[in-house]
Amino acid sequence: MDYFAALRAFRAVVEEDGFAPAARLMGLATSSLTRQVNALEDSLGTQLLNRSTRSVTLTDAGSAYYDQAILVLDALDDANRSVSEAGGAPRGLLRISMPVVFGSLHVAPAMGLFMRRCPEIELDFRLSDGFVNLVEERIDIAIRIGKLDTSSLIARKLAPNRRLICASPDYLGEHGVPEHPDDLRDHNCLCFAFADGDRTWKMEKDGESLSVKVAGSMVANNSEMLRQTAISGGGLLMMPSWLVGEDVKAGRLKPILSDWTVGHGETNTAIHAVYLPNRKGSKKVTAFVDHLAAHFGSPPYWE
């Protein structure tokens, strides 16, 4: 039995939810793929899959075996990739995860040039604001914004994540410009809906740290909605410069308290590209990260 072929067949059945769709994906007859999986179970002396006329599910043993099979197959793919890339241009499938709004605003506009420069790379973007496990989701690169945890991932800083407080000229003209963080309490503050419900804006200046409990008539879990509301004169907004930088340049929003460092309990955070250690020598990973770093610039163009 070809163990690697059997492992790939088993993985395809699990991920495609059935023998027939897995066979179509692999370009095999269903009977051939079924024999491979059956032979794998016979060699192990245990049942990996529960089969019925309507569904295929993992047994307890199959679930544990599937997790290990992914690691083995991914390691083999990594080895094959490193050899195939050694003497040529970067190529192959590149899976990338990133936050939704950041990807739309700052990554998508850079992709046309990247695809012309690296025509043999196939891009698979997964845009999500939730935490993505690179191993479980088989992600090559993740763009993460904020403070990184102390993981084993390799991280490359792409840009600072500077936050600022701003409002439309109309709002400031009607309600006045705050001159001190304490003045924020007298304003309508548009707040992002953090999971813990916190509406505290934290600021620092010359070693002094302040935490201001703000309030307002609107909270939302979408930064673009808050941004548009602020532009329309709805209130004060605390957002990263990569989101509101163009609005500041155009005069749609005006920064306030600019001599204070603004954060949500996370000073000195940044925008990073992170990837697993086994992707360190990958030409396609390096090409993509280098391209984004050059596109953003230093300082980044949105500043």
Q: What is the CATH number of the domain that holds 19?
A: 1.10.10.10
Q: Give the pLDDT score at 52.
A: 86
Asked whether residue 239 falls in the same domain as residue 275, the answer is no
Range 228-242 average pLDDT: 95
**Please, which pLDDT band fits residue 236 given cuts at 50, 70 and 90?**
very high
- Put simply, whether the predicted model's pTM sits higher than 0.85 gets the answer no
Q: Is the dihedral of CA 188, 189, 190, 191 positive or negative?
A: negative
Peptide bond into 90 cis (omega under 30): no
Domain count, the chain: 3
Please give the angle made by the CA atoms of 171, 176 and 178, to the nearest 5 degrees.
110
Asked whether residue 180 falls in the same domain as residue 216, the answer is yes
- What stretches of the chain adopt beta strand conformation (E)? 49-51, 56-58, 92-98, 121-127, 141-146, 154-160, 163-167, 189-192, 200-205, 208-213, 219-220, 236-240, 254-256, 261-263, 270-275
Q: Give the pLDDT score at 194.
A: 73
Kindly report the average pLDDT of the chain as a whole number. 89
Contacts of 226 (CB under 8 A, 6+ apart): 190, 191, 192, 218, 220, 237, 239
Please determine, for residue 162, whether its predicted confidence score (pLDDT) is greater than 80. yes
Q: What is the CATH number of the domain that holds 224?
A: 3.40.190.290
C-alpha closest to that of 77 among 94, 61, 63: 94
Tens digit of each residue's pLDDT (9 = 90 or more) over 1-47: 788 999 999 999 998 889 999 999 889 999 999 999 999 999 999 99
Contacts of 160 (CB under 8 A, 6+ apart): 269, 270, 271, 299, 300
Tens digit of each residue's pLDDT (9 = 90 or more) over 85-124: 666 778 888 999 999 999 999 999 999 999 999 999 999 9
Please determine, for residue 187, whether its predicted confidence score (pLDDT) is greater than 70. yes
Asked whether residue 122 falls in the same domain as residue 178, the answer is no
Q: What is the CATH number of the domain that holds 131?
A: 3.40.190.10
CB 36 within 8 A of CB 5: yes
Is 46 contained in some domain?
yes
Give the three-state DSSP class for 123.
strand
Q: Give the pLDDT score at 70.
A: 85
**Please, which pLDDT band fits residue 134 given cuts at 50, 70 and 90?**
confident
Range 165-170 average pLDDT: 96
